[in-house]
Amino acid sequence: MYKLKRAIILAAGAGKRMQPLTLSVPKPLVKVKGTRMIDGIIAALHANGITEIYIVVGYKKEQFEYLKSIEGITLIDNPFFDRANNIASLYCARKYLEDAIVLDGDQIIVNPKVLRADFEKSGYNAVWTEEPTKEWLMQVENNRVISCSRNGGNLGWQLFSVSRWTKEDGERLRDCLEREFVQHKNCDIYWDDLALFIYPDDFDLGIMKMQLGDVIEIDDLQELATIDESYSEYLEKE
C-alpha cells in the first residue's frame, strides 16, 4: 500500500457556468448549506491526516488569503488561469505531485472516508453506473483502466475529480505536464487528458470505488440550487 503525503486543490477557475453568483466570489468559496466548498474539502483531508495542502488560485485569488492562517496550507498562484485550461493549474503545482491526492475545489465531500490516505495504485475515485451519463466514463478490467470516454455512456465507472498519484507516477505526470504545457504549448486541455488520453501507456491507472453521493460535483447554478434551495432565486432571475 502507498500512503499520501500531501494534497493539491485546484481552485483557480472563474466558474463561469455559475454566474452571476461567481461574479463576486470564486466558485470554491461558494457556501453550500452554510459551508464553503473548499472548507469542506480541507476538513475532509484533515480527517484523513492529510495536512500538507497546496491550493492553486487565480480568479479573485485575494479572497483565499484567509486560508493561509491554517497550518500546512500554501497558496500557489496560477497566472495563466484566464487564458488556459486547468492543465495550467496542475503545471503550477507540479513540484508537489509525488504521493499526492489531486482534487477540484468546487465539490462537496459528503463521505470523508473517500479521501483516505492509503491507496494501492495511482488512479481516480469512481462510481459504477448502469444509467446513461454524460460524465467521463471509464472501463476497468482487473483494477486497471483500459479506456475512458469523454462523452459518457452507461455500464462503466464514472470518473470523479479525486485522484491519487504514487511518487513514480507523480514524477511521470510532472514530465508530461512540462512536455505538453511548455514544449508543445498545449494549453487548452484538461490535465486529466495526459494520463487518460495522451500518454495512457505511461501509466497503470486503477480506481478507488465509491458509492453514489459520496462526492457531489457542482457544475452550474441548477445543480447548486438542487442541493441548496437558497440559491433558487438565481434561477428565477434567468
% residues pLDDT > 70 (the chain): 99
Instruction: Assess if residue 152 is contained within a domain.
Output: yes
| pLDDT digit string, tens, across residues 43-79 | 999 999 999 999 999 999 999 999 999 999 999 999 9
How many CB atoms are closer than 10 A to CB 161? 19
Q: Which of 200, 228, 105, 219 is nearest to 162 (CA)?
A: 105
Residues 6+ apart with CB under 8 A from 169: 122, 195, 203
Instruction: Assess if residue 12 is contained within a domain.
Output: yes
Instruction: Assess if residue 139 is contained within a domain.
Output: yes
Range of the domain at 47: 2-231
How many CB atoms are closer than 10 A to CB 177? 21
Q: What is the CATH number of the domain that holds 65?
A: 3.90.550.10
Here the cell at position 143 is 483494477
Instruction: Assess if residue 238 is contained within a domain.
Output: no
Would you state the pLDDT for residue 234?
A: 83
Mean pLDDT, rounded, of the chain: 96
Here the cell at position 114 is 473517500
Q: DSSP character for 47?
A: H
Distance CA 157, CA 130 (A): 9
Would you state the pLDDT for residue 238?
A: 57
Instruction: Assess if residue 72 is contained within a domain.
Output: yes
Instruction: Assess if residue 73 is contained within a domain.
Output: yes
Total number of domains in the chain: 1
The kind and range of the H/E element at 26 are: none
Instruction: Assess if residue 162 is contained within a domain.
Output: yes
Q: Could you tell me whether strands 215-217 and 107-109 are parallel, antiparallel, or unpaired per DSSP bridges? A: antiparallel
Instruction: Assess if residue 237 is contained within a domain.
Output: no
| CB distance 104 to 161 below 8 Å | yes
pTM for the whole structure: 0.97
